[in-house]
């Protein structure tokens, strides 16, 4: 069959295209910018009338709509991407004689409750009223190596501390993206027969905290410490993050998590002709080392840079505002700096600490890490020679520079070439 898959470069759409291709179908990939012979340029923010779709549907037997966004931006709205463009596509498909439509919706859309769900349900309901064979697929949380939410959850799972919203007892039943794609292929292999809505889930129902624990175990980590975060604080954070582009925690996603994301597995198992996989098998042993490194890279550099920036900025603050200036000048006198020269040296050191702290957050890079290592090594050498008592001081003010240099070496080794 000739099948148009809209959203072919997306996480779910790409998996569907690959599965359809393996099954022998001719796939036309609907993408924002077409660059290959099998690609078709589409724009869900602009293509909101049937007339925009009719020329693109010539010779198409089946339409699969796998376009979706989790959060809105100034350039992408639920109203157009989830409702108006899909409705225009479905109406045009009916006019063009397309024999079947597959709409990839979301589990929970039928209940509404959030702007995301309401926009999805509006397109689902419109399709249900059209005289064309169709399947409305409502998958639960979809897991796959390339998925943004999956990368996010693996990064959270790799942390030694799991902050759990409301205790992390929300019920979930994630489905593997490859099995979702296989279901599309299996449904299209059947003769067109009316209209069907399917809730699609994975094989294991878990609590949110159990999902993170399963991913963590699959990645090869020891169990994490669990910290329950009050729901009110998560709601406040979601309200703040709601204004940040690309944030995964928003008021809508928090409401969706609170509501849970699960359903009966019976229909999913029936279509697959087997029980779907569960979260405990999503991460293959052969993939675990690579995904483990990727998960750590999701949060470790930010943590190291934050700790380093805090050290520089706090040092500047304490030197300028807390520690007695006279005591600082007395120490400088012991290394040969006195009077106005000592005052200038102290002021320069404070300014340099501030600059390095800000640069660590705003302009990280190889040159900055090398410069900081050189500066710390120089400070340490001068103090070791002029003030040797600090070498064996019980608080270890000089020896503590060793782990800071080690931290900088880690950042330097992990820095990618720009």
Residue 9 CB-density burial (10 A; 0-12 exposed, 13-18 middle, 19+ buried) = middle
pLDDT for residue 192: 76
CA distance 151 to 293: 11
Task: Determine how many CB atoms are found less than 10 A away from the CB of residue 65.
Answer: 27
pLDDT for residue 72: 84
Q: SS3 of 382, please?
A: helix
CA distance 162 to 215: 12
Domains and CATH numbers, the chain: 2-298 (3.40.50.720), 301-414 (no CATH)
- Distance linking the first and last C-alpha atoms of the chain: 44
pLDDT for residue 417: 60
Residue-wise pLDDT tens digits, 116-136:
999 999 999 999 999 999 999
Residue-wise pLDDT tens digits, 321-335:
999 999 999 999 988
pLDDT for residue 10: 95
- Residue 39, beta-bridge partner list: 29
Predicted TM-score (pTM) of the model is 0.86
CA distance 191 to 23: 16
Low-confidence stretches of the chain (pLDDT < 50) are 418
pLDDT for residue 17: 97
């Amino acid at each position: 069959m000739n099948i148009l898959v809209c959203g072919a470069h997306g996480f779910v759409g790409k998996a569907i295209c690959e599965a359809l291709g393996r099954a022998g179908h001719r796939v036309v990939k609907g993408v924002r910018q077409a660059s290959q012979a099998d690609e078709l340029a589409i724009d869900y923010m602009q293509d909101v009338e049937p007339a925009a779709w009719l020329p693109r549907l010539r010779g198409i037997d089946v339409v699969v709509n796998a376009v979706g966004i989790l959060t809105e931006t100034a350039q992408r709205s639920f109203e157009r991407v989830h409702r108006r463009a899909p409705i225009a596509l479905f109406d045009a498909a009916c006019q063009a004689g397309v024999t079947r439509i597959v709409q990839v919706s979301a589990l929970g859309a039928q209940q509404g409750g959030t702007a995301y769900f309401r926009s999805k349900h509006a397109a689902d309901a419109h399709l249900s009223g059209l005289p064309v064979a169709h399947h409305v697929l409502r998958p639960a949380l979809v897991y796959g190596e390339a998925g943004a939410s999956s990368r996010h959850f693996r990064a959270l799972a790799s942390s030694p501390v799991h902050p759990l919203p409301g205790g992390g007892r929300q019920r979930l039943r994630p489905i593997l993206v490859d099995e979702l794609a296989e279901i599309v292929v299996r449904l299209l292999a059947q003769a067109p027969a009316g209209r069907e809505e399917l809730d699609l889930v994975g094989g294991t129902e878990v609590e949110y905290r159990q999902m993170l624990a399963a991913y963590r175990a699959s990645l090869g980590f020891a169990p994490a410490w669990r910290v329950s975060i009050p729901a009110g604080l998560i709601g406040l954070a979601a309200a703040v993050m709601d204004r940040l582009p690309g944030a995964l925690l928003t008021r809508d996603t928090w409401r969706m998590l609170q509501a849970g994301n699960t359903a009966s597995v019976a229909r999913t198992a029936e279509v697959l002709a087997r029980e779907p996989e569960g979260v405990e098998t999503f991460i293959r042993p052969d993939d675990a080392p690579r995904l483990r490194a990727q998960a750590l890279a999701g949060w470790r550099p930010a943590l190291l840079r934050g700790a380093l920036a805090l050290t520089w900025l706090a040092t500047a603050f304490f030197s300028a505002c807390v520690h007695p200036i006279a005591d600082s000048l007395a120490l400088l006198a012991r290394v040969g700096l006195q009077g106005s020269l000592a005052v200038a040296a102290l002021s320069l050191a404070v300014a340099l600490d501030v600059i390095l702290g800000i640069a660590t957050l705003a302009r990280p890079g190889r040159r900055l890490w090398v410069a900081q290592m050189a500066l710390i090594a120089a400070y340490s050498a001068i103090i070791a020679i002029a003030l040797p008592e600090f070498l064996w001081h019980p608080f270890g003010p000089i020896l503590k520079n060793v782990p800071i240099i080690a931290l900088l070496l880690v950042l330097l080794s992990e820095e990618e070439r720009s």
